[in-house]
Homo-oligomer: A and B are copies of this chain.
Amino acid sequence: MARRPLPGEFELIAQYFAPLAASAPGAAGLTDDVAVLGVAAGEELVLKADAIVGGVHFLPTDPPDLVARKLLRVNLSDLAGKGARPLGYLMTCALPKDLEVDWIEGFVAGLAADQREFAIPLLGGDTTATPGPVTLSATVLGAVAKGRVPRRGAARAGDAVLVSGTLGDGAFGLDVQRKEFAAIDGAARAYLINRYRLPQPRLDLGRALVEAGILHASMDVSDGLVADLGHICRTSAVGARIEWTRLPLSPPARALVAAEPALRERVVSGGDDYELLLTVAPEQIATALGIAAGQGVPLTEIGRIVAGAGVEVLDETGVQIPIGRTGFRHF
């Protein structure tokens, strides 16, 4: 097939990126230097910026539409953890000069799909050349009622710890692309890979829980349960005790762990879950579970916040499961 090089910078913006901004009047069709965005009275902004790099966060052979959707979704998941309503995003793209236009077309199609799904427009950004790999940065903006953003430091001893969805799928979705696992079949493998590639930000659940005013600490799980709950504990000056048997696992994840019990550590420290992790006072557990059930989203009590420090995960006999260094580090 003939190589299709990138068009000029202005054509790239006009042809591919401007349509992504069409639904945002304040983006002015990307024909101005800045975007303008109103914030409703009584609301404040929630902001999150993330960068992803070819060869680090995704591979050149990964489908570009999924790269785009994951870029948006990991940021939207942070907004979900704070109960924010997404308003839009800005994006900068550093692109190798020899990138083919097919990649951009797939990337833009992925952005368009998720913009529809989550009702967020592109507000602005910048496109530049790079001698390095594709490097993408997104800043996502959301809104929350003033003073209602649940912070990491608000967990209290005695709180219940709850998590949405299932844990470990994202990490196993990465693993099964690198290695064969006899314990699962092709359908299970595809399920896990999809969970890795296309996280599901729990925006509606996050918003409903914040609006109910029952959350203490809240965030999304992206670095793994133990690392992220560790962040909550450190910032709140408390500890946490998690019961392994209560952790919500999908059938494929459960099959993998049954065949290889050492994989329990991977479930709680692998990361890429993009589920909600929150703490509520014990008397609010039923309300939280009811809100989640009303949305058809699994929400599970997995343990308690305790006085002290650190995160323990106890097995069915009450013995602590050993966890190594947790959370991905770039350096």
Q: List residues of A whose CB falls within 8 A of some B CB.
A: 6-10, 12, 26, 28, 31-39, 41, 44-53, 55-57, 78-79, 81-82, 84, 90-95, 97, 123-133, 135, 137, 139, 141, 144, 146, 149, 151-153, 219-220, 231, 235, 329-331
Whether B47 contacts A329 by the Cβ 8 Å rule is no
Interface centre among A56, A81, A82, A128 (most CB of B within 10 A): A128
A46 to B38, CA, bound (A): 9
A6 to B298, CA, bound (A): 41
Contacts of A95 in B (CB 8 A): 331
- Given contacts A34-B84, A39-B39, A79-B34, is CB(A132)–CB(B49) below 8 Å? no
Q: Name A7's closest neighbour in chain B (CB-CB).
A: B331
Q: How far is the CA of A36 from the CA of B93 in the complex (A)?
A: 25
Q: Give the residue among A52, A55, A129 with the most B Cβ atoms within 10 A.
A: A129
Taken together as a complex, chains A and B put the C-alpha atoms of A140 and B133 apart, in Å, by 24
CB-nearest residue of chain B relative to A227?
B10
Rounded to whole angstroms, the CA-CA distance of A9 and B223 in the bound complex is 13
Pick the 6 closest A-B CB pairs, nearest first: A132-B132, A51-B92, A137-B137, A129-B330, A49-B90, A139-B139
**Residues of the B chain whose Cβ atoms lie less than 8 Å from the Cβ of A91:** 49
Q: Is the CB of A10 within 8 A of B329?
A: yes
Give the distance to chain B from A319, nearest Cβ to Cβ, in Å: 29
CA separation between A137 and B128, bound complex, in Å? Answer: 11
Q: Please state if B329 and A9 are interface contacts (CB–CB under 8 Å).
A: yes
Tell me which of B48, B127, B151 contacts A330 (CB under 8 A). Answer: B127
Q: What is the CB-to-nearest-CB distance from A98 to chain B, in angstroms, rounded to a whole number?
A: 10
Question: A149 to B51, Cβ gap below 8 A?
Answer: no
Q: Answer whether A151 and B219 are a contact pair too, CB < 8 Å, given A36-B44, A49-B125, A135-B135.
A: no
Contacts of A53 in B (CB 8 A): 94, 128-132, 135
**Can you pick out 11 interface pairs between chain A and chain B where the beta carbons lie within 8 Å of each other?**
A6-B331, A9-B329, A9-B331, A37-B44, A38-B44, A51-B135, A52-B128, A53-B128, A56-B128, A56-B131, A137-B137
Q: Verify A47–B51 contact, CB threshold 8 A.
A: no
A135 and B139 in contact, given A28-B151, A33-B82 (Cβ under 8 angstroms): no
> Could you tell me if A39 and B45 are in contact, using CB atoms closer than 8 angstroms?
yes
Given that A35-B46, A219-B33, A331-B97 are known contacts, is A51 also in contact with B128, CB under 8 Å in the complex?
Answer: yes
Q: Which residues of B contact A37 (CB under 8 A)?
A: 44-45, 47
Residues from chain B with a CB closer than 8 A to the CB of A34 are 46-48, 78-79, 81-82, 84, 149
CA distance A133 to B130 in the complex (A): 8
Q: Within the complex, what minimum Cβ distance (angstroms) separates A99 from chain B?
A: 9
A41 nearest CB neighbor, chain B only: B41
Task: Give chain B residues whose Cβ lies under 8 Å from the Cβ of A44.
Answer: 26, 36-39
